[in-house]
Chain A
Amino acid sequence: MPNIQYANMSHWKSIPFKKIDNFRDFYYEDKTNSAYYSDWDNILKYQSALGFNGIEIAPWDMADILPLFGSPENFTAFAKDRGVEVIGMFHGAHASHDAGHFDEAVQSGREAVDTIVRFGGTYMNTCPTQNYFGCGPLSREEVQQCAKVMNEIGRYATDKGVKIGLHNEFFCAINLPNHRELIESTDPKLVHYCIDTAQISIMGEDLVTFYNDYHDRISTFHLKDTASSAQPDSLRYSQDPEITDDGTRWFWEPGMGNLDLKGLYHALKEHGFKGWMSIEYDGSPDLLASMAMTRYYLDNELRPIYD
């Protein structure tokens, strides 16, 4: 059993079919490759074939997955039949910095935990509050309020066998000036951390230093590369910066940017990391190609360092 198991953070947009029984006919209707991206049967088989045996789903998938499969349990069984397990779900803790939204933020987090349990997952990677634009800068009290919400959700999650991991975006109201303050204000027994390698680097953290500093808090990763580390405040705090107007990408497949991922893997080895790592391809024009590129890079560059 390797120390690291690999999953795919689901960035598939709506997949409209469960399984296409008449694949050839569907293809021939207009002879394009749309047919290859239209059913979960094939999407999960692509993952399985490329050695990504876990999937981390997203809350925005629910509106499509649930009508299609009827229940979380049905989706989990369908994925398991194809060699893929649901490891968890992303969650956005909207307005958790606002004391007036405490009950709502905690309730929403608890409901997300319940959903993950039904999928059989054990991770809930959680963005601590909304974007900086329109919300930041947060006061010290607001950062503490975020921590209070995370602790409360973390307590409930821990009781249910789910690890919540703080997950920071480069454009979040929790940002470089208060990122570490939030982590250190949460209870290590209840709240863990998911390193999104590109997001924290764009925010201005040094990836390897950050991992070494917090290795005992790290529950899992979103592994992706970037060629845009340490962006200025003016960009990170601007309105809707994640999707650029001109198509510039923040995120790349591992090895296609300039992060020190090999340095990270040496640090993982040093600290003996064990667990799931989700590969993330947001911004890719071709998720299947990205998955294959990543598998090659993992097998030939990173796994020889630490597996």
Chain B
Amino acid sequence: MNPKDFAISLDLINRHYQEPNRNRFESKYFWEELYPLIATAGFSSIEIPYEPVWQFGGRSGVPMNRYCINTKYTSAAQYREVLSRSGIERVSGVTFDPNLFMRNDNIHFYFGASGHFAGEALAHAADLGADYFAISPSPYYGRIRQYHPDIDAQIDMFTDRTVELLSGLATKAEELGVKLVLRNEYWSLFGGERVLPLLARLRESVGLDVDTASLTVAGIDPVQFITANIARIGCVHLTDTSFADSADVWKTPNPEHPQPQATQVFRDPGTGSVDFAAIAATLDRLGYSGPVTCSARQTRDPFRALLRTRAMLNQL
């Protein structure tokens, strides 16, 4: 593996939470200033978190879904040209999480909306020429329980419907030539090693997306997990953390913001306790040659996070 080939996720821009100057993130100019800075930090590929929410309310300056790209650039091809002129050669992957759609007690709404927009996101990934489409197979477990207090008794139903949704996406992904991978966030109904039985029910083309911080939060050693599951790993996210979930925060409705003892769960890469050198050595030793993406989600300063990430990679 060559760290120069690693991508950076655009999730380093904290779009959803309040902070000074956040209003910039909704305008096109902000992103078009950002792309050359990303390239200057040594990244020539990016990952895009697909977010349907920007489709509603006229916020199409945020380049996180097909509607926004078509509104501002007319097509994915035109957008890729803008990226290319900024030094971003490719979009390596697209991610999708269904938390937006866990908002009421109607489980049919959740699966209907998630399936529809995940399909849109996958097609958009293909249009962007992405290698992978990384989907979170469930919303926050605590958010499900908030609206469906009986979820623990309904896990088989929820899992069956998830398998049905993912199987449809897997077929479509094969047709489009995009690798479908499952994320394993610590807060998921299928977090940590709970993702493995789900993966076993899906066709071989579906891979596993390893998130190093999420594994660490869940108390799982990323090196051991990677070693045990290398055959199915289709994507690696290098994320950092110093948080250990000793109080079942993963079961709460807001699991990325532990209450009441606040902490930043995802730290800028290189500033937490994840041993990236050991992880990189393990991936090299096992001959992993798939995509690797760095993520600085929850950063409090995206431009510092970009350089911190590059500084960390320079040490590998």
Q: Which residues of A are interface residues toward B (Cβ below 8 A)? A: 12-23, 25-26, 29-30, 32-35, 37-39, 43, 60, 62-64, 66-68, 131, 171, 239-247, 283-287
A16 touches B58 (CB 8 A): no
B16 at the interface (CB under 8 A from A): yes
A64–B99 Cα distance when bound, in Å, is 11
A98–B219 Cα distance when bound, in Å, is 53
Q: Chain A residue with minimal CB distance to B53?
A: A60
Interfacial residues of chain B within 3-45, with CB under 8 A of chain A in the complex: 16-24, 26-30
B260 at the interface (CB under 8 A from A): yes
Choose among B23, B264, B267, B268 the residue that contacts A285 (Cβ–Cβ < 8 A): B23
Q: Chain A residue with minimal CB distance to B256?
A: A16
**Across chains A and B, which 8 residue pairs bring their CB atoms closest together, nearest first?**
A67-B253, A16-B257, A245-B28, A240-B58, A32-B300, A34-B300, A37-B18, A26-B262
- Residue numbers in A under 8 Å from B49 (CB-CB): none
A79–B261 Cα distance when bound, in Å, is 20
A26–B254 Cα distance when bound, in Å, is 17
**Min CB gap B84→A, angstroms:** 20
User: Knowing that A37-B20, A247-B24 are A-B contacts, what are 10 other residue pairs whose CB atoms are under 8 Å apart, sorted by A's residue number?
Assistant: A14-B18, A15-B17, A17-B259, A17-B260, A25-B262, A30-B264, A30-B271, A67-B142, A171-B58, A243-B61
A29 touches B72 (CB 8 A): no
Question: What would 11 A/B residue contacts be, using CB atoms closer than 8 Å?
Answer: A16-B254, A21-B260, A29-B264, A30-B268, A35-B262, A68-B253, A240-B60, A243-B27, A245-B28, A246-B27, A287-B18
A68 touches B262 (CB 8 A): no
Q: Which residue among A62, A64, A241 has the maximum number of chain B CB atoms within 10 Å of its CB? A: A64
**Min CB gap A233→B, angstroms:** 17
- Residue numbers in A under 8 Å from B260 (CB-CB): 17-22
B146 at the interface (CB under 8 A from A): yes
A63 touches B103 (CB 8 A): yes
Q: Chain B residue with minimal CB distance to A245?
A: B28
B18 touches A38 (CB 8 A): yes
> Would A38 and B262 be within 8 Å (CB), given that A32-B300, A67-B146 are in contact?
yes
A285 touches B21 (CB 8 A): yes
- Residue numbers in B under 8 Å from A64 (CB-CB): 254
> Would A33 and B60 be within 8 Å (CB), given that A16-B254, A26-B263 are in contact?
no
- Residue numbers in B under 8 Å from A25 (CB-CB): 261-263
